[in-house]
């Protein structure tokens, strides 16, 4: 019985192979459309070359969008403070990283809205209407972004990068390189974020010390103080409406 069943299965497989293999051999490979950007030899129009360079520049900017989000907006300060508040409360992975990052992104969009609106009104819309060229649009777009970064950048942080590169010191803001400004702004945001995180950490640290002293006085040395203080820290954070205060205070630091 097994032999006849095996033979039947073998015959069936051979029949299927004989039917399918010719069909597969005749099948053509799917054609994939190709995107090419090239100029014909001897027909290089300066306008077409300029358009091609603009497309390449925009693609480069899109690839660097995460770096721009981290180094030229308020995202860095917000995400640092969020991580400090979670560590101070001792809730480990609650709220999750995805929620904290998502909230930080939307807060960044709210904070940077005036800057983005100015860039759109003064640079993007005139360029789309062909009132200005690409170079002028790029120069106009940098103005509100540089003003925002200058407002939150310390001169000490800006000076250290000029010392590293041995470049001559600028006499005014207009002479400051955008690359130097971005680097100095990032350092300043790190310092500000850590300062705010330290101030947030102090009340929770005091609560941990009080609970640890009480447990030590009661002779309960084997009981982890963090286990007892965690519910009290969460309750305190809820009673003072901590998230509302934290978000409101963070937004006010950029005013």
Question: Residue 179 pLDDT more than 80?
Answer: yes
**What residue segments make up the domains of the chain, in order of their start?**
66-200
**So what's the pLDDT on residue 61?**
62
The mean pLDDT value for 5-24 works out to 46
**So what's the pLDDT on residue 41?**
46
| 3-class SS string, 170-233 | CCCHHHCCHHHHHHHHHHHHHHHHHHHHHHHHHHHHHHHHHHHHHHHHCCCCCCCHHHHHHHHH
CA atoms of 54 and 128, how far apart (whole Å): 13
Q: List the single range of 16-30, 76-90, 132-146 with lowest mean pLDDT.
A: 16-30
Question: Residue 31 pLDDT more than 60?
Answer: no
255 or 63, which is more confident? 255
CA atoms of 170 and 176, how far apart (whole Å): 6
**So what's the pLDDT on residue 50?**
56
List, in order, residues 6 or more apart from 37 with CB less than 8 Å away.
Answer: 52, 55, 56
Question: Residue 122 pLDDT more than 80?
Answer: yes
The mean pLDDT value for 224-239 works out to 79
pLDDT (tens digit per residue) in 63-117: 666 777 777 888 888 888 888 888 888 777 778 888 888 888 888 888 888 888 8
Percentage of residues in the chain having pLDDT higher than 70:
73
The mean pLDDT value for 165-187 works out to 82
CA atoms of 242 and 55, how far apart (whole Å): 46
CA 45 from centre of chain = 39
């Amino acid at each position: 019985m097994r032999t006849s069943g095996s033979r039947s299965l073998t015959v069936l497989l051979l029949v299927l192979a004989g039917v399918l293999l010719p069909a597969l051999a005749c099948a053509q490979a799917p054609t994939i459309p190709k995107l090419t950007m090239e100029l014909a030899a001897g027909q290089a129009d300066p306008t077409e070359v300029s358009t091609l360079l603009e497309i390449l520049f925009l693609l480069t900017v899109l690839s660097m969008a995460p770096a721009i989000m981290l180094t030229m907006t308020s995202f860095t300060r917000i995400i640092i403070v969020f991580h400090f508040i979670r560590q101070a409360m001792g809730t480990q992975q609650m709220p999750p990283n995805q929620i904290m990052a998502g909230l930080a992104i939307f807060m960044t969009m709210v904070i940077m809205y005036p800057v983005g609106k100015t860039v759109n009104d003064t640079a993007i819309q005139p360029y789309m209407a062909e009132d200005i060229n690409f170079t002028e649009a790029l120069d106009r777009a940098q103005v509100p972004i540089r003003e925002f970064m200058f407002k939150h950048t310390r001169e000490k942080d800006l000076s250290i990068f000029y010392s590293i590169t041995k470049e001559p010191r600028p006499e005014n803001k207009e002479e400051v390189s955008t690359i130097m400004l971005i680097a100095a702004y990032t350092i300043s945001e790190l310092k500000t974020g850590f300062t705010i995180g330290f101030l947030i950490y102090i009340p929770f640290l005091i609560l941990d010390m009080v609970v640890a002293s009480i447990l030590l006085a009661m002779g309960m040395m084997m009981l982890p103080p963090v286990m007892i203080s965690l519910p009290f820290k969460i309750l305190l954070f809820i009673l003072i409406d901590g998230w509302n205060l934290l978000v409101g205070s963070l937004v006010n630091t950029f005013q």
